[in-house]
């Protein structure tokens, strides 16, 4: 990834010419937010609709581990508890109605979200993805998965779809540090991400990475090393959130017993701004806060106030008079 991102026919918001301020800065933003990206890419407001296609996960079903990640409420997608799902078309209709009512948008990204959404043979994946793309109000796909679950034939399928339509492949990186991945029972190491990026980069689809800040045992420098690696790896987007706790998970027990201490909002905001400052200005920052249904949520309480977290991050950028990429230029 360099400071120059080639424009697609529609992707004017992402275009950065070396030496010129990126469009999001001209719009008064401190980082390349997702809403700004979507408006530039599609010309109209777009919102994601989450779909559950009934996948499980290799560290839930025992292929690489059992029990899943320590923070993941994976009971609903353990193999023994998978229930018949509504069809993709039915889920889209329900999800679009809700999003339309709440946000007033008319175009959608079909987001294959829970579990590992490439964890199946291509013969099963293709009709699911194609059914979502066939809906007249769907402008593209987002596919959440693990870096160790993207074999070449799956990447070829995603590439074929992305040659015609917008597709983002979201890889759950979380951290580049293997000791943290072992702590969370991830069932893979950072080498899987490096390998996935090497095979996925340069295709038609965009590549996103999910990152968690505040993992136990990670110093500020450890977290910023993950930012530097993302800048080097050439991802197109990043989703950030703090480590938060969902009921019934091993992490909930660790936090209750005092074995894991969660970040305060002030700590998270400072680290998130440090992190974003080190990303290239062309990387879309899709998310800066976590999401969990309040019924399942344990803490920290502050991260349920997503708007307040976003405002605090903006305020910290203004206090520093800094912006995304200001430290990337210094470290590249």
Query: In the complex, which residues of this chain contact ligand SF4 (CB under 6 A)?
Result: 57, 59-60, 68-69, 72, 74, 115-116, 146, 172
Residues 6+ apart with CB under 8 A from 282: 1, 3, 4, 5, 14, 16, 22, 32, 236
In the complex, minimum distance from the CB of residue 112 to ligand SF4, in angstroms, rounded to a whole number:
12
Q: Which is nearer to ligand SF4, 146 or 177 (CB)?
A: 146
Q: Can you say how many angstroms the Cα of residue 183 is from the centroid of all Cα atoms in its chain?
A: 20
- The SS3 of residue 75 is helix
Length of the chain: 332
**What token pair was written down for 126?**
């293709």
Q: For residue 175, how many C-alpha atoms fall within 13 Å in the half-sphere facing its CB?
A: 24
Helix, strand and coil in the chain, % to nearest 5: 45, 15, 40
Q: Which is nearer to ligand SF4, 116 or 180 (CB)?
A: 116
Q: Which is nearer to ligand SF4, 1 or 235 (CB)?
A: 235
Q: Which residues of 62-79 are buried (b: 16+ CB within 10 A; e: fewer)?
A: eebbeebbbbbbbeebbe
Q: Which is nearer to ligand SF4, 56 or 324 (CB)?
A: 56
- How far apart (Å, rounded) are the C-alpha atoms in residues 203 and 323? 29
In the complex, minimum distance from the CB of residue 183 to ligand SF4, in angstroms, rounded to a whole number:
13
In the complex, minimum distance from the CB of residue 55 to ligand SF4, in angstroms, rounded to a whole number:
9
In the complex, minimum distance from the CB of residue 13 to ligand SF4, in angstroms, rounded to a whole number:
29
Q: Which residues of 105-115 are buried (b: 16+ CB within 10 A; e: fewer)?
A: eebbbbbbbbb
In the complex, minimum distance from the CB of residue 52 to ligand SF4, in angstroms, rounded to a whole number:
12
Q: What order of strands is seen across the sheet that includes strand 107-112?
A: 46-51, 107-112, 138-145, 166-174, 206-213, 237-242, 284-287
Q: Which is nearer to ligand SF4, 187 or 281 (CB)?
A: 187
DSSP 201: T
In the complex, minimum distance from the CB of residue 250 to ligand SF4, in angstroms, rounded to a whole number:
11
In the complex, minimum distance from the CB of residue 144 to ligand SF4, in angstroms, rounded to a whole number:
8
- The SS3 of residue 137 is coil
Q: Which helix (H) or strand (E) holds 25?
A: helix 23-26
In the complex, minimum distance from the CB of residue 145 to ligand SF4, in angstroms, rounded to a whole number:
9
Q: Which is nearer to ligand SF4, 103 or 296 (CB)?
A: 296
Q: Which is nearer to ligand SF4, 68 or 300 (CB)?
A: 68
Q: Which is nearer to ligand SF4, 95 or 172 (CB)?
A: 172
DSSP 185: T
CA pseudo-torsion sign 223, 229, 235, 236: positive
In the complex, minimum distance from the CB of residue 60 to ligand SF4, in angstroms, rounded to a whole number:
5
Contact predicate 25/43, CB 8 Å:
no
């Amino acid at each position: 990834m360099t400071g120059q991102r080639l424009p697609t026919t529609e992707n004017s918001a992402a275009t950065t010419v070396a030496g010129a301020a990126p469009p999001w800065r001209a719009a008064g933003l401190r980082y390349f937010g997702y809403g700004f990206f979507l408006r530039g890419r599609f010309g109209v407001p777009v919102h994601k609709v989450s779909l559950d296609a009934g996948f499980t996960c290799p560290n839930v079903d025992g292929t690489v581990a059992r029990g899943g990640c320590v923070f993941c409420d994976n009971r609903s997608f353990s193999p023994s508890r998978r229930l018949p799902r509504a069809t993709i078309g039915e889920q889209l209709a329900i999800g679009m109605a809700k999003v339309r009512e709440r946000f007033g948008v008319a175009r959608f990204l079909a987001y294959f979200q829970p579990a590992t959404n490439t964890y199946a043979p291509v013969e099963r994946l293709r009709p699911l993805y194609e059914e979502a793309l066939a809906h007249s109000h769907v402008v593209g796909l987002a596919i959440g998965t693990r870096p160790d679950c993207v074999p070449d034939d799956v990447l070829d399928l995603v590439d074929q779809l992305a040659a015609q339509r917008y597709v983002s492949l979201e890889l759950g990186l979380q951290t580049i540090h293997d000791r943290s991945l072992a702590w969370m029972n991830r069932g893979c190491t950072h080498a899987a991400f490096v390998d996935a990026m090497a095979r996925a980069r340069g295709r038609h689809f965009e590549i996103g990475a999910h990152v968690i800040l505040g993992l136990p045992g990670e110093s500020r420098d450890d977290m910023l090393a993950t930012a530097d690696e993302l800048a080097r790896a050439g991802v197109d987007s990043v989703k950030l959130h703090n480590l938060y706790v969902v009921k019934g998970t091993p992490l909930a027990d660790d936090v209750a017993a005092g074995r894991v201490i969660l970040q305060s909002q002030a700590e998270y905001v400072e680290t998130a701004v440090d992190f974003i400052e080190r990303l290239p200005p062309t990387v879309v920052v899709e998310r800066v806060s976590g999401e969990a249904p309040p019924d399942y949520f344990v803490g920290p309480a502050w991260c349920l106030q997503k708007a307040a977290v976003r405002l605090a991050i903006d305020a910290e950028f203004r206090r520093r008079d800094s912006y995304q990429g200001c430290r990337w230029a210094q470290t590249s």
